[in-house]
Amino acid sequence: MEHFNLVQVHKPKFRLFLPLSVSNFLLALFLSFFSVLLLSLPLAFHILSGCATKVECFVTCRIDYCNSLLYGLPDYQLAKLQRVQNWAARLVYRESKFCHITPLLKKLHWLPILYRIRFKIALLTYKAISGLAPS
């Protein structure tokens, strides 16, 4: 039997309980990253854009999935997500683990995890206020 943490969202006359297990989410994210790593290993002379596409498909979309629910997580769990993003950026550019990550993230136009979460919440809020949200 799995144990779930319950996140309670309060709205006027409305309560929503969402099953959320951050450790299961992180495990799925790590598995996605390592599947991309295994796919890219046989292709030593793989084109940069092909590797970036695989990373975007398998890893980045998992990071962005429900990332507004990740707001308020403890720093140690956000650090795990940031580590996966850093590994993915280094995989795309085939850099060592000792290189600085900020220039790689800038080249890929990726925000760090904490700012990604804040941006997503701000974007959803703007769309809701402006009437651009889906009905």
Q: Can you tell me the distance from the alpha carbon of 13 to that of 46, in angstroms, rounded to the nearest whole number?
A: 54
pLDDT of residue 117: 92
Q: Can you tell me the distance from the alpha carbon of 20 to that of 87, in angstroms, rounded to the nearest whole number?
A: 25
For the whole model, what pTM was predicted? 0.65
pLDDT of residue 115: 94
CA distance readout (Å), 18 to 7, 8, 60, 89, 105: 5, 7, 22, 31, 32
**Sequence-separated (6 or more) residues with CB below 8 Å from residue 55:** 36, 88, 91, 92
Domain ranges of the chain: 24-130
For residue range 51-109, what is the model confidence (pLDDT) as tens digits?
777 777 777 887 888 787 888 888 988 898 898 899 888 888 888 889 999 999 999 99
